[in-house]
Amino acid sequence: MRVITGSSRGRKLITPAGYDVRPTTDTVKESVFSIIQFSVEGRTFLDAFAGSGQMGIEALSRGARSAVFVDSSRKSLEAVRKNLSLTGLTDRAVVVPSDTLSFLARCGEKFDIAYLDPPYQTGLLQEALKLLPAVMNSSGKIICEHPAEETLEKSVENFVIKKQYRYGKIMITVYSDKDVEGL
């Protein structure tokens, strides 16, 4: 696992040991950042269910103003901190030791891009989606990684599914404000 492009291009990242973390493949990560390539620079990024933190780190490497990494696993948080240090991106990052649902319920920040990749088939994605609009800027994008057979709500408050992309057994679903054109 590595940073694909930007200021930390090519840096190898570590993944927490064990089966609790399922890193996003490089193919899916490249595709996600191709989808949002013009929406990252200068923006705020939420890496919910952060795992190794690779998605938020990729966003920072590509010029995101800041990123918040949320995870409840001590091993994951340790990996995120190490990866931020390895890439030299610590100064624009906040690491939050919390379960994502609690964080979203009490968060006072607003984000431009939120990436959700919770453990599959747990209902956490659906619960997080319900809370997310309250912490999103109106021009923001919500990106969900989930099993292709899992169906998500067509809309969550003002956010609607704008596009879905399938990569084998993985689906990427992109939500944005219903009044905003395109992605």
Q: Name the one residue in this structure whose structure tokens are 């219903």.
A: 178
- Ramachandran category for residue 62: left, alpha or beta (phi over 0 → left; psi -120 to 50 → alpha): alpha
Averaged pLDDT for residues 104-131: 94
In the prediction, which pLDDT does 18 show? Answer: 61
In the prediction, which pLDDT does 22 show? Answer: 66
pLDDT in tens, 150-182: 999 999 999 999 999 999 999 999 999 887 776
Residue 130: band (very low, low, confident or very high) from pLDDT cuts 50, 70, 90: very high
pLDDT in tens, 46-66: 999 999 999 999 999 999 999
Averaged pLDDT for residues 119-145: 94
Domain architecture of the chain: domains with CATH: 26-177 (3.40.50.150)
Q: Report the SS3 class of residue 72.
A: coil
